[in-house]
Amino acid sequence: MENKVVFITGSAKRLGAYTANYLHNLGYRVVLHCHNSVDQVKALSTQLNEKRIDSVKWVQGDLCDLQQLNQIAESAIASFGRIDVLINNASAFYPTPLTTFTLTDWQALIGSNAQAPLFLIQKLQKQLIQNQGVVINMVDIHAQRPLSGHTIYCMAKAALVTLTQSLAQELAPNVRVNGVAPGAILWPDTALPENEKSAILSQIPLGRLGNEKDISEAIAFLISASYITGQIVAVDGGRSIANPSVA
């Protein structure tokens, strides 16, 4: 896999950074991306390049701005001269109650979770087709079971599910397109009350929070699974099947 190049959006920290590190350890070259987290993406790039020289590069830009998105795509290709795998990981996530949401909220949530993946795939399609490539979209179990107060986010992730299934057909047989739908993997940066954490854990048959490795393993599997396309793999400890009526 040493010649394969993976481009991961939103990969300066948290799940994106872990996935970059995981795939890098498997032998992939990696193009990192950030919007505002420049210090973090520089540090991760340095760390990984110390493990294997000239194996990681990074690009910066706002995926919600289509002009910047074009530049991001071009810079990603120029980093190593090819793209084999696109992982659409970047995602805005926050509540948008019906009484208070704004057009800015719409643009940020739809832009990062649905618009950016679509246009990035369009911009990178020649590379992906040429290299028999793979797209992995980070979806969410709440695309099917909406989270109260998060209507725009859930709409965006539902659109990403449809995008995944539609482009899996349109880009076949040259490019495979799949999605990973995480359940409770990392607690949000804003602290949750213990009673809310307990309520979430009680809905998970495996009885625990997932972790970054669980997601990265699923991504690595889908990259290598040559006869799987158009699928959304839920990595949620069984939450979505055990509690079909509970968000």
* Cα 194–chain centre separation: 27
Cross-strand partners of 87: 8, 136
Domain residue limits at 55? 5-242
Q: What is the pLDDT of residue 246?
A: 43
Residue 247 lies in a domain: no
Spell out the residues 6+ positions from residue 21 whose beta carbon is closer than 8 angstroms to its own.
Answer: 44, 48
Q: What is the pLDDT of residue 2?
A: 63
Q: Give the domain CATH number at 171.
A: 3.40.50.720
Cross-strand partners of 56: 30
Dihedral of CA 180/77/2/128: which sign?
Answer: positive
Residue 89 lies in a domain: yes
Mean pLDDT by 10 residues, the chain (247 residues): 90 96 98 98 98 98 97 98 98 95 97 98 98 97 90 98 98 98 78 81 88 97 98 93 58
Q: What is the pLDDT of residue 188?
A: 67
Mind telling me the catalytic residues? 153
Contact 143, 181 (CB under 8 A): yes
The structural domain count of the chain equals: 1
Residue 83 lies in a domain: yes
Q: What is the pLDDT of residue 11?
A: 98
